[in-house]
Chains A and B, each alone.
Chain A
């Protein structure tokens, strides 16, 4: 068995990534400008509603990251060749996802503070996101446990799929739990916003922009990981040469 040949990687950007990098910038630029200036304030919440343009897209992207990691892990596990690209995407998506989850939690928390006066509400979406955040911290810790890339990939893909089983259970339990307190609809800050056309457009554009940003970040991160793996492989070569010298002396 020979080691897989890694492609020669000159830089981390390609034409494709530059294209959608620009796309992300444009979309987010519009969201920034539009969100702050061109969209009206909400009847009930006033200017506080503008946090929605960050909070909702980051929440969406955080869950997208979770799904990508799950799907990539399944692809690695079930594929015959166990192609390392899937494992790298799973890892990169988790890292980027954790950042978006943190953003979701922070923006949600600030929004709650401004509209309801509290930093935290037991809203099912926020609570599940908090659990997703901690679960992914655990996943990243498992990725850091060491061993060969194949061992790491096997272990973390199993952990990711277990997380896919666990998160819906957590969400369902929390929804059931909060329904006891009959707060579900009231506490969700975006539950009672009347969406004007331009607000909806900005929001959707924000979802699009953040998703493209996510894709851009994951592509770059997974390429850096590929370079890192290539470096490890060449370090192994060097170590083997050293060992051969050691053996001959």
Chain B
């Protein structure tokens, strides 16, 4: 009896998040790492004005660097005891696996970004108004959805076999470039830094939404082929 995609996705997402809650890899390793990256940016850039101006970009850069680690961790749990193989051999619908892992990656990324934005407010002294907050939340949700979809998709391709994990950054970075560009511009608009008004950020959010839709759909269609041996 085949299960529906949404039931499979739910089971996979719950399983992934439960494992994370138990192992605490994101909270104990990835969050400190990305916080440290934010501090390193401050060392490298060494100017309060510059930092305040580029704060949005730095948050998204730190997020993308952490994305690699999160994706590799997400698939390491599947590969360490051959679970992904077992899921394949059991004929579990790969679309469900894709959605489930995307959801779990989304949740972990959101947690990460909340911490990073708070760090930016503290370290780089950016400020946020009411309209800016709405823009920021919408931007974060759509950008993160896009990152979660492409991360899961290319993570599935590069999972496991020797010499594959190093391929992940090479494949993923060009693909997330539109997210970096758009999310940074929208975030700058939300912080009203560099004289940008909040309303100028909304077209960028539209780009993020298109990106998420394209790769969500693309991922559903291709994940099965990419994890196949």
Which residues of A approach B to under 8 Å, CB–CB?
A: 131, 134-135, 137-138, 141-142, 145, 147, 151, 154-155, 158-159, 161-162, 165-166, 169-170, 172-174, 176-177, 180
What's the nearest-Cβ distance from chain B to residue A70, in Å?
A: 13
Question: Which chain A residues border B171 with CB–CB below 8 Å?
Answer: 138, 141-142, 159
Bound Cα distance A166, B170 (Å)? 14
Check if B153 sits within 8 Å of A138, measured CB to CB.
no
Bound Cα distance A134, B167 (Å)? 12
Looking at chain B, what size class is its interface with the partner chain?
Answer: 20 to 34
Bound Cα distance A142, B166 (Å)? 11
Check if B177 sits within 8 Å of A131, measured CB to CB.
yes
What's the nearest-Cβ distance from chain A to residue B153, in Å?
A: 7
Check if A177 sits within 8 Å of B218, measured CB to CB.
no
Please provide the 6 A-B residue pairs with the shortest distance between their CB atoms, ordered closest to farther: A173-B178, A138-B171, A173-B181, A169-B178, A135-B174, A158-B222
Question: Which chain A residues border B225 with CB–CB below 8 Å?
Answer: 154-155, 158
Q: Which residue of B lies closest to A164 (CB)?
A: B218
Instruction: Tell me the interface secondary structure of chain B in the complex.
Output: helix
From A147, A165, A170, A172, contact of B218 by CB (8 A): A165
Please tell me if B55 contacts chain A, counting CB pairs below 8 Å: no
- What mask results when residues 110 to 138 of chain B are scored 1 for a CB within 8 Å of chain A, else 0? 00000000000000000000000000000
From B157, B211, B228, contact of A159 by CB (8 A): B157
From B204, B214, B226, contact of A158 by CB (8 A): B226
Check if A165 sits within 8 Å of B214, measured CB to CB.
yes
Which residues of B (144-192) have their CB < 8 Å from a CB of A? 153, 157, 161, 164, 167, 170-171, 173-175, 177-178, 181-182, 185
Question: Which chain A residues border B226 with CB–CB below 8 Å?
Answer: 155, 158-159
Q: By CB atoms of chain A within 10 A, which of B185, B203, B210, B225 has the most?
A: B225
Please tell me if B81 contacts chain A, counting CB pairs below 8 Å: no
- What mask results when residues 187 to 223 of chain B are scored 1 for a CB within 8 Å of chain A, else 0? 0000000000000000110010011001100100010
Check if A151 sits within 8 Å of B157, measured CB to CB.
no
Bound Cα distance A132, B221 (Å)? 23
Question: Which chain B residues border A172 with CB–CB below 8 Å?
Answer: 178, 207
Check if A177 sits within 8 Å of B181, measured CB to CB.
yes
Bound Cα distance A154, B224 (Å)? 11
Question: Which chain A residues border B211 with CB–CB below 8 Å?
Answer: 169
Say whether, besides A137-B170, A142-B167, A173 and B229 are in contact (CB < 8 Å).
Answer: no
Question: Which chain A residues border B210 with CB–CB below 8 Å?
Answer: 169
Question: Which chain B residues border A158 with CB–CB below 8 Å?
Answer: 222, 225-226
**13 extra interface residue pairs, beta carbon distance < 8 Å, beyond A154-B228, A155-B225:** A135-B174, A138-B171, A138-B174, A141-B170, A145-B164, A151-B228, A155-B228, A158-B226, A162-B175, A165-B215, A170-B174, A173-B207, A176-B207
Q: Which residue of B lies closest to A147 (CB)?
A: B229
Say whether, besides A142-B157, A147-B229, A173 and B167 are in contact (CB < 8 Å).
Answer: no
Say whether, besides A151-B229, A155-B157, A155-B226, A173 and B177 are in contact (CB < 8 Å).
Answer: yes
Check if B181 sits within 8 Å of A166, measured CB to CB.
no
Question: Which chain A residues border B157 with CB–CB below 8 Å?
Answer: 142, 155, 159
Question: Which chain A residues border B167 with CB–CB below 8 Å?
Answer: 138, 141-142, 145
What's the nearest-Cβ distance from chain B to residue A3, in Å?
A: 19
Bound Cα distance A169, B181 (Å)? 11
Q: Which residue of A lies closest to B179 (CB)?
A: A173
What's the nearest-Cβ distance from chain A to residue B158, in Å?
A: 9
